[in-house]
């Protein structure tokens, strides 16, 4: 009788242990995926903050440099394109992140061109409203960089976890896929040439 109980108890205990371990692995992957989504939402918040600052910046510049219409339209159009590019946090693939990053890069380039135009207008550079907007924009750019770094770190932890054995088996079974990373912009690997 005791051998029969032992033959039943051992497999039951094994099944319970494997189930509990699998549940822990699964829950850990869910937690890490949610952390990636949270980190992504923080990235989006900072990009949205930048998008929200742009109309005020363009209107301020327009008051002083109305004949710089092409540059102003470039910023407005780049902002519109960036606004249209949204990513579902469940679909953070390299392709979707590349598209998002591309539109944000175009917006950054348009803003850089706008700042070059501003250099031609000393009275605009002295305008308090413009200076405040410029400081807010610079601060937002710094926050974007920080949030992108945090996102990459969170995504790396998640990706490492789902690629480790035996977690990779559970990840494949339950639909956990690697998340994409932000990468440096094209040309960032070269130091800029500064001439005086």
pLDDT of the residue at 187: 54
Categorize the per-residue pLDDT at 30 as very low, low, confident or very high, splitting at 50, 70 and 90.
Answer: very high
52: its two tokens:
């929200």
Average pLDDT over residues 119-126: 79
69 CA to centre of own chain: 31
Interval 33-48: pLDDT, tens: 999 999 999 999 999 9
86-107 mean pLDDT: 86
Identify the CA nearest to 82 among candidates 62, 105, 98: 105
For residue 152, the model assigns a pLDDT of: 94
Residue with tokens 């910023």: 75
pLDDT confidence band for 190 (50 / 70 / 90): low
Domain ranges of the chain: 2-174
Average pLDDT along the chain: 85
Give the angle subtended at the CA of 45 by the CAs of 39 and 51, to the nearest 5°. Answer: 145
pLDDT of residue 195: 45
Residue 125 to residue 118: CA distance in whole angstroms = 7
pTM listed for this prediction: 0.78
Across 66-81, average pLDDT = 82
- The CATH number of domain 2-174, selected from 1.20.120.530, 1.20.1440.20, 3.10.20.340, 3.30.70.20: 1.20.1440.20
Per-residue confidence (pLDDT) for residue 194, from 0 to 100:
44
DSSP string of the chain? -HHHHHHHHHHHHHHHHHHHHHHHHHHHHHHHHHHHHHHHHHHHHHHHHHHHHHHHHHHHHHHH-TT-HHHHHHHHHHHHHHHH----GGG--HHHHHHHHHHHHHHHHHHHHHHHHHTT-HHHHT-HHHHHHHHHHHHHHHHHHHHHHHHHHHHHHHHHHHHSTTHHHHHHHHT--PPP---PPTTTTSPPP---
């Amino acid at each position: 009788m005791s051998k029969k109980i032992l033959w039943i108890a051992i497999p039951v205990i094994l099944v319970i242990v494997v189930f509990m371990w699998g549940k822990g692995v699964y829950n850990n992957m869910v937690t890490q995926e949610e952390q990636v989504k949270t980190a992504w939402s923080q990235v989006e918040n900072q990009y949205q903050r930048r998008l929200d600052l742009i109309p005020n910046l363009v209107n301020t510049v327009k008051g002083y440099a109305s004949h710089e219409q092409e540059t102003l339209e470039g910023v407005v159009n780049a902002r519109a394109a960036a606004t249209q590019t949204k990513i579902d946090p469940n679909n953070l693939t390299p392709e979707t992140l590349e598209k998002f990053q591309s539109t944000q890069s175009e917006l950054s380039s348009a803003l850089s061109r706008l700042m070059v135009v501003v250099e031609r207008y000393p009275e605009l550079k002295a305008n308090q409203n413009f200076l405040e907007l410029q400081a807010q924009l610079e601060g937002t750019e710094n926050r974007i960089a920080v949030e992108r770094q945090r996102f990459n770190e969170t995504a790396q932890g998640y990706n490492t976890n789902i690629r480790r054995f035996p977690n990779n088996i559970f990840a494949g079974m339950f639909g956990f896929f690697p998340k994409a990373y932000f990468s440096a912009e094209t040309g960032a690997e070269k130091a800029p040439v500064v001439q005086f």
